[in-house]
Amino acid sequence: MKVAIIGAGNVGKAVFHDLQHVNMIREITLIDRNENKAKAEVADAKDAAVLWEEYGAKLSFGGYENTKGADIIIYTAGSSKIQTDRMEILHSNCNIAEEVFTEINRYNQDAIILCVTNPLDVVTMKIQQVTGRAARKVIGSGTLLDTARLVRTVAELLEVSDRQIYIPVVGEHGASAVSLLSHFRIMGMSMDDYLKSVTDTDAILNVKALENIFKKVPFRIFNGKGYTSTGISATVCRLVAGIAADSREILPVSSVLQGEYGVRGVAASVLSIIGRNGIEDIHEVMMTEEERTAFLRSVDSIRQAAKSEGII
């Protein structure tokens, strides 16, 4: 499998290096407007590869013509200068995406596209519009990382392994993301049952406080180091591995919905089956009335942003 990465910034180079340790990838090509930077990243990685015990993917760099033959295109380009909300960079990043994929379409019209550029859901819509690809072949990394952040927050709060916790997050990759707490499971128990088992009382988790904590995680990271990269790189690698292995994992990712949950023509994260063709299927899950209302409100915020860019 050949993978092309668009953008050699902080996220792009993190993905480039981490992806070299994903099985079934035969070639990784790094593409950036600053070709000297991409060339240097590749040279640096080739030096490191000499010291690895295992043989890795072929590494290359170049222009958009290098996307020819790629099975997956990972899009990381665009501005990442966010202060309080991902929508701040909406207009510039939609314009960049249109410019980039107009060029890429000259060389590749078949690859699965993974978008990580913010505001993620709207940019995912823009890419799908520009490329004309099937909706389920243009995937935003979506709330998979939000889910990981929520799981870590809860695991640290309850002092248990994050491997024992399941809480999907859906909707916008952003401020209006929705935690499906009705699906919360820890050691097979619901949240209420688990809290009762460890406290012997009818303890209640403060959901609003919990959501405020995990939604602030990326901004704390950004304010501390100037960008986020490691978490999103792991997210991308998980998705690429799932596609390459045809894993059929069910993960919360973004795509332009085609009627699911009563939503059409707007990209938002929902639980999706990941496989060799991208999103293989979407099975609607039960939500409480409150969760569904919050989800549709989140979708509407994405819809309004997309309308402001003339996407819908």
At 89-148, the pLDDT tens digits run: 899 999 999 999 999 999 999 999 999 999 999 999 999 999 999 999 999 999 999 999
Alpha-carbon span 113 to 232, nearest angstrom: 15
pLDDT classification of 85: cutoffs 50, 70, 90 = low
Residues 151 and 135 in one domain: no
Q: How many domains does the chain have?
A: 2
pLDDT of 211: 79
Residues 131 and 158 in one domain: no
Alpha-carbon span 268 to 135, nearest angstrom: 12
CATH (domain of 293): 3.90.110.10
Would you put residue 187 in left (φ > 0), alpha (ψ -120 to 50) or beta?
A: left
| Residue 204, helix vs strand vs coil | coil
Residues 202 and 84 in one domain: no
CATH (domain of 34): 3.40.50.720
Q: Choose the final residue of a domain: 117, 140, 163.
A: 140
Question: 247: domain range?
Answer: 144-308
Residues 46 and 154 in one domain: no
Q: Choose the final residue of a domain: 140, 155, 185.
A: 140
Residues 126 and 171 in one domain: no
pLDDT classification of 191: cutoffs 50, 70, 90 = confident
Across the strands, what pairs with 270? 253
Q: Is 80 exceeded by the pLDDT of residue 81?
A: no
Residues 98 and 197 in one domain: no
- Residues above pLDDT 90, as percent of the chain: 80
Residues 158 and 227 in one domain: yes
Residues 167 and 212 in one domain: yes
| Preceding omega of 119 cis (within 30 degrees of 0) | yes
Q: Is 70 exceeded by the pLDDT of residue 218?
A: yes
Alpha-carbon span 169 to 214, nearest angstrom: 11
pLDDT digits (tens, 9 = 90+) for 4-23: 999 999 999 999 999 999 98
Alpha-carbon span 73 to 12, nearest angstrom: 12
Q: Say if residues 239 and 274 touch (Cβ distance below 8 Å).
A: yes
Distances (CA, A) of 148 to 167, 237, 252: 9, 14, 10
pLDDT classification of 56: cutoffs 50, 70, 90 = confident
Alpha-carbon span 120 to 252, nearest angstrom: 13
Q: Is 80 exceeded by the pLDDT of residue 84?
A: no
Q: Choose the final residue of a domain: 140, 175, 197.
A: 140
Tokens read off for 58: 């072929």
Alpha-carbon span 214 to 231, nearest angstrom: 13
Residues 20 and 135 in one domain: yes
- Please state the separation of Cα 48 from the chain's center in Å: 27
- Residues above pLDDT 70, as percent of the chain: 96
pLDDT classification of 157: cutoffs 50, 70, 90 = confident
In this prediction, residues 284-307 reach a mean pLDDT of 97
Residues 158 and 98 in one domain: no
Residues 48 and 172 in one domain: no
Residues 202 and 297 in one domain: yes
Q: Give 55 or 252, the one with higher predicted confidence.
A: 252
pTM, two decimal places? 0.94
